[in-house]
Homo-oligomer: A and B are copies of this chain.
Amino acid sequence: MTAYVRRAPADYPSGMSSAPVPTTASARTPAYRRLSVAERRSQLLASALTLFAHRAPEDVSLDDVAEAAGVSRPLVYRYFPGGKQQLYEAALRSAADELERCFDEPPTGPLTERLGRALDRYLAFVDSHDTGFAALLQGGSVVSTSRTTAIVDEVRRSAAASILGHMPVSAPGPRLHLLVRMWIAAVEAASLIWLDEGKQPPAAELRDWLLDQFVAQLTASAASDAQTAEVLRSALALERADGPAGSLARRVLPVLGEAGRLR
A204 contacts chain B at the CB level, 8 A cutoff: no
Interface-located stretch among A32-40, A73-81, A97-105, A178-186: A178-186
Query: Is B209 a contact partner of A221 (Cβ separation < 8 A)?
Result: yes
Interface size on A, residues (CB 8 A): 67
> Per a CB cutoff under 8 Å, which of B215, B241, B253, B259 touches A245?
B259
> Per a CB cutoff under 8 Å, which of B197, B220, B261 touches A215?
B220
Which chain B residue has the least Cβ–Cβ distance from A239?
Answer: B262
How many copies of the chain does the oligomer comprise? 2
Query: Is B223 a contact partner of A252 (Cβ separation < 8 A)?
Result: yes
Given A219-B255, A252-B219: A145 touches B149 (CB 8 Å cut-off): no
* B contact residues around A258 at 8 Å (CB): 232-233, 236-237
In the assembled complex, the Cα of A212 lies from the Cα of B182 at a distance in Å of 13
Within 174-203 of A, Cβ neighbours of B (below 8 Å) are at: 174-175, 177-178, 181-190, 193, 197, 200-201
Q: Which residues of A contact B (CB under 8 A)?
A: 138-141, 144-150, 153, 174-175, 177-178, 181-190, 193, 197, 200-201, 208-209, 212-213, 215-217, 219-224, 229, 232-233, 236-237, 239-241, 245-246, 248-253, 255-259, 261-263
